[in-house]
Amino acid sequence: MISVNHKAIFIHNPKVAGTSINILLKDQQFTHKSLHQAKDGSNDNNTGEWKIGTARRLERGFEQEEWSSYFKFGFVRNPWDRMISSWKNRGEKKYSDFKDFVLSYPFKEEYRDIIWHTMPQYIHLCDEDDCLMLDYTGRFEHLEEDLNCISDILNINLGKVPHSNKTERKSYKEYYDQETIDKVAEIYKKDIELFQYEFNI
């Protein structure tokens, strides 16, 4: 979402409270910007460019000087926890068993919605050289605190986070065995290194 008034862009990283944050930002006159249209007029859903993630697709709609002038922020989440959320919200209808879901990665091409929501977070938030494109990287684990920091930076009052797309579930640690712990570590190796996450036993 984008605010011209506040010169700010929210980079939506899937399954990291983005829907809830969008609701708060909409109240502050942030608006959606389509990701699908490339500068040459082609549609990402047809070309496969959707796989470059959120930030790089948004950047294409700006001149470089304009893009650089905006305050860009987003959020990250523990990959093991995020994988549970992706399964509960997007994958459970096709994979009733969580272990089967994890071990089926990479998913079939026709499962594009699942692929989008399980892509490594660095793809959504980094450029083609794997450099972070955000000015502020918040964490799902202390969402309210980091949103307060963003509120202070932008001089707005975002208020309390609504719980949108929330699913009923146990602690993420209860879903895993050693095989699935290791598989997620393999899938999200760059996320774990870049954002310094670990599986908390």
Higher pLDDT, residue 158 or 178: 178
Distances (CA, A) of 155 to 64, 73, 138: 25, 14, 17
Task: Give mean pLDDT, residues 89-110.
Answer: 97
Cα(114)–Cα(89) distance, rounded to whole angstroms? 9
Amino acid (1-letter code) at residue 134: L
pLDDT at 164 over 80: no
Contact 105, 41 (CB under 8 A): no
The pLDDT > 70 percentage for the chain reads 97
Supply the pLDDT for residue 201: 60
pLDDT: which is higher, 56 or 35: 56
Mean pLDDT of 95-110: 97
Closest to 58 in 3D by CA, of 14, 131, 2: 2
Q: Whole-number mean pLDDT of the chain?
A: 94
Is residue 59 within 8 Å of residue 67, measured between CB atoms? yes
More confident residue, 193 or 39: 193
User: For residue 166, is pLDDT > 70?
Assistant: no
Return the pLDDT at 148: 95
Say how far residue 155 (Cα) sits from the centre of its chain: 24
Across 35-61, average pLDDT: 90
HEC profile of the chain: CEECCCCEEEECCCCCCHHHHHHHHHCCCCECCCCCECCCCCEHHHHCHHHHCHHHHHHCCCCHHHHHHCEEEEEECCHHHHHHHHHHHHHCCCCCCHHHHHHCCCCCCCCHHHHHHHCCHHHHHECCCCCECCCEEEEHHHHHHHHHHHHHHHCCCCCCCCCCCCCCCCCHHHHCCHHHHHHHHHHCHHHHHHHCCCCCC
Judge whether residue 37 has pLDDT over 90. Answer: no
Average pLDDT (178-191) is 98
Query: Please, which pLDDT band fits residue 167 given cuts at 50, 70 and 90?
Result: low
What is the arithmetic mean of pLDDT over 10-25? 95
Alpha-carbon distance of 120 to 81, in angstroms, equals 13
Instruction: Write the pLDDT tens digit of every residue in 119-151.
Output: 999 999 999 999 999 999 999 999 999 999 999
Q: Give pLDDT, residue 161.
A: 84
Buried/exposed 160-186: b ≥16 CB within 10 Å, e otherwise: eeeeeeeeeeeebeebbeeebbebbbe
> How many angstroms separate the CA atoms of 179 and 141, rounded?
24
